[in-house]
A and B are shown apart, each in its own frame.
Chain A
Amino acid sequence: MSVLIYAENAGGKFKKSVFEAVTYARAIANQNNTSLVAISIGDVDAAELAALGKYGAEKVLNVSGEKLKNFVNQAYASIIAEAAKKHSADIVVLSNTFSGRGLAPRLGVKLEAGVADGAVALPQQDGGKFTVKKTAFSGKAFAVVELTSANKVIALVPNSYKVTETGETAQVEDFTAETKDSDFKAMIKEIVRSTDKVSLPDAEIVVSAGRGLKGPENWGMVEELASLLGAATACSKPVSDAGWRPHSEHVGQTGIAVSPNLYIAIGISGAIQHLAGISSSKVIVVINKDPEAPFFKVADYGIVGDAFDVVPKLIAAVKEYKASA
């Protein structure tokens, strides 16, 4: 018995969501009095790999190779499943990111495992029942799901578990696994990375704007505020439908669900479908000129005012705060 954590890298580096997942997996290993093995696939240097030890990984399996440079869920799932079998891991943890969501179901089938995607808390293991709390109804509720299978796959939502450093460095060893040619049928032609931008699903701060901004030409101040705060930018559905912003920024019930520490909503009404995807944000700030906007009912802090007046002032205030900090 052991716990296996898949540590996904972004351009050779691990992001905070990976450290959260390793910390979380360590806590599960402790619950079961067992060891924690991490697996990394792609090009990650040895020091970065060993650093996973800080969060409690005892061993890191390193898988690399020309064909594995980019994420191919079929091949990656084969490798992770094989590592799980070789290390007798009955629990596999990954991050509930875009790639995590592509891998988890394939792993579920390969390992005949129940899959708890969207996990937001440590599993409870009382009376022989293994239950995981996960988001449901697009963040309008949580479901407590029992995994009844011997093997389990858990995908942890970014920002839902606190990173703690408990260990030191991990022992890194190379791992090779069989992959079939058919695992590589999906051929990557092109990858376009917007490297200067914070990725939305695991952003700690999100600055989001809605139809109240009137048009795409007014997004400069939203981007400026976001960049000052090291935040990702987002928008409401009508904004992306109108083509003012890309669909990848649309948050809500039919967009991306986010759970940042801080969500700033500018000129967004707070329709139930929008709130669905953002309600697990820890702190919500709303700027809206309509004091009756439903968003104020779920906000922690609010400013009733015109965005075109408030946001530039807020930018100035953040600059001042940063200068004095």
Chain B
Amino acid sequence: MKILVCVSNVPDTTTKITFTDNNTQFNTNGVQFILNPYDEIALSRAIELTDGGKGSVTVINVGEVNTEATIRKALAIGATDAVRINAKPHDAWYVAYQIAQYVKANPFDLILTGRESIDYNGSKVAGMLGELLDIPSVSIIKKLDADDSSATVEREIEGGKEALTIPFPFVAGTAEGVAEPKIPNMRGIMSARTKPLTVVEPVEAKTFSEVLSYETPAPRGQVKLVPADDTARLVELLHTEARVI
């Protein structure tokens, strides 16, 4: 089983988000970049599925050279090899298009992405890849089991869940529940340095969207404290003042 895991390089989850240049640029100053947490889950499941010589796991990232630390982390966790498409990830379409071109030349049985990246939260790459490759895509996968030719997945739907069987190849966007994120051990970290990381130049691609500016949510007012023994007061406030019940 040949698995491709698409990984993105995102600001650490504890990052306080600020902007510069009149709110047109994300302020990367002092921000640590990490492997997107959902991608870590996808990668961990891919490694479990191929454990004991049952296949290989390639990670792929569309990014400039500064993402290599994140790619090495993925290799340290246990990926077999890595590909970096040397370009700024302009938008989801651009990223999906680059990966699709690579996959057309280098087919995989299963392509995994995280359900979304925690920076732009688009959850678009999986579906776009599916469409560009004309294969199924399923998103928000909570469970993933595979044999040699197909997989059984469980995905979230509004108010419930759904079990599906899907023949290879297909794309899945994974969420929590699929696997416990693996922590790299010393051997992994050492071997990551020598595992193959191929750099591929991007192909010409269109872009369909562009971030013009950012906003931060309006600050909330002071909290109104209600005594613990006066829950009736809270209910009244929610009814008459906040008008939410």
The finding on whether chains A and B are genuine partners in a shared complex, rather than unrelated, reads yes
Mask, A77-104, CB within 8 Å of B = 1, is 1000000000000000000011101111
Mask, B150-165, CB within 8 Å of A = 1, is 0010011111111111
Give residues 97-139 of B contacting A (CB, 8 Å). Answer: 118-128, 130-132, 134-139
* Given A240-B176, A272-B14, A309-B228, A143 contacting B120 (CB threshold 8 A): yes
Q: Is A192 an interface residue (CB 8 A)?
A: yes
Q: Is B186 an interface residue (CB 8 A)?
A: no
One of B96, B125, B130, B217 near A280 (C-beta < 8 A): B217
Chain B residue, CB-CB nearest to A299: B223
Minimum Cβ distance to chain A for residue B119 (Å): 6
Segment from A133-141, A166-174, A212-220 that makes contact with B: A133-141
Mask, A223-243, CB within 8 Å of B = 1, is 000000100000001001100
* Given A103-B127, A279-B217, A285-B234, A117 contacting B139 (CB threshold 8 A): no
Q: Are A185 and B136 in contact (CB under 8 A)?
A: yes
Classify chain A: how many residues form its interface, as a range: 35 or more
Docked Cα-Cα span, A286 to B220, in Å, equals 14
Chain B residue, CB-CB nearest to A115: B124
Q: Is B187 an interface residue (CB 8 A)?
A: no
Segment from A34-42, A55-63, A248-256 that makes contact with B: A248-256
Q: Are B157 and A301 in contact (CB under 8 A)?
A: no
Mask, A138-171, CB within 8 Å of B = 1, is 1111111111110000000000000000000000
Docked Cα-Cα span, A70 to B155, in Å, equals 13
Q: Are B127 and A104 in contact (CB under 8 A)?
A: yes
Contacts of B170 in A (CB 8 A): 185-186
Q: Are B225 and A108 in contact (CB under 8 A)?
A: no
One of A137, A254, A299 near B119 (C-beta < 8 A): A137
Q: Are B226 and A137 in contact (CB under 8 A)?
A: no
Interface SS, A side: mixed
Q: Are B210 and A145 in contact (CB under 8 A)?
A: yes
Contacts of B167 in A (CB 8 A): 185
Docked Cα-Cα span, A6 to B123, in Å, equals 18
User: Total interface residues on B, using CB and 8 Å?
Assistant: 85
Chain B residue, CB-CB nearest to A194: B160
Q: Are A144 and B242 in contact (CB under 8 A)?
A: no
Q: Are A141 and B214 in contact (CB under 8 A)?
A: yes
* Given A205-B244, A283-B242, A314-B234, A10 contacting B159 (CB threshold 8 A): yes
* Given A105-B123, A141-B216, A313-B229, A189 contacting B163 (CB threshold 8 A): yes
Minimum Cβ distance to chain A for residue B62 (Å): 16
* Given A109-B128, A136-B121, A300-B220, A317 contacting B234 (CB threshold 8 A): yes
A-B contact count (CB 8 A): 289
Mask, B178-213, CB within 8 Å of A = 1, is 000000000000000000000000000011111111
Q: Are A143 and B239 in contact (CB under 8 A)?
A: no
Q: Is A2 an interface residue (CB 8 A)?
A: no
One of B121, B157, B210 near A118 (C-beta < 8 A): B121
Q: Is A316 an interface residue (CB 8 A)?
A: yes
Which of A118, A144, A147 counts the most B-chain CB atoms under 10 A from its CB?
A: A144
Q: Is A113 an interface residue (CB 8 A)?
A: yes
* Given A189-B163, A283-B242, A144 contacting B232 (CB threshold 8 A): no
Q: Is B11 an interface residue (CB 8 A)?
A: yes
Contacts of B155 in A (CB 8 A): 98
Contacts of B212 in A (CB 8 A): 129, 131, 144-146
Contacts of A301 in B (CB 8 A): 223-226, 234, 237-238, 242
Chain B residue, CB-CB nearest to A315: B231
Q: Is B177 an interface residue (CB 8 A)?
A: yes
Minimum Cβ distance to chain B for residue A9 (Å): 10
Contacts of A202 in B (CB 8 A): 158
Contacts of A99 in B (CB 8 A): 157-158
Minimum Cβ distance to chain A for residue B168 (Å): 10
Q: Is A64 an interface residue (CB 8 A)?
A: no
Give residues 254-284 of A contacting B (CB, 8 Å). Answer: 254-255, 257, 261-262, 272-273, 276, 279-280, 282-284
Contacts of B119 in A (CB 8 A): 136-137
Docked Cα-Cα span, A318 to B234, in Å, equals 9
Chain B residue, CB-CB nearest to A74: B136
Contacts of A110 in B (CB 8 A): 131
Chain A residue, CB-CB nearest to B116: A101
Q: Are A254 and B118 in contact (CB under 8 A)?
A: yes
Interface pairs (12), CB distance under 8 Å: A99-B157, A105-B123, A105-B125, A137-B121, A140-B216, A144-B211, A144-B214, A187-B165, A199-B158, A254-B37, A262-B245, A302-B224
User: Closest 9 CB pairs between A and B?
Assistant: A105-B127, A305-B228, A114-B208, A193-B160, A109-B131, A105-B124, A247-B177, A114-B209, A262-B244
Please give 4 more A-B residue pairs, beta carbons under 8 A apart, in addition to A143-B213, A146-B211, A199-B158. Answer: A105-B122, A117-B123, A143-B211, A317-B231
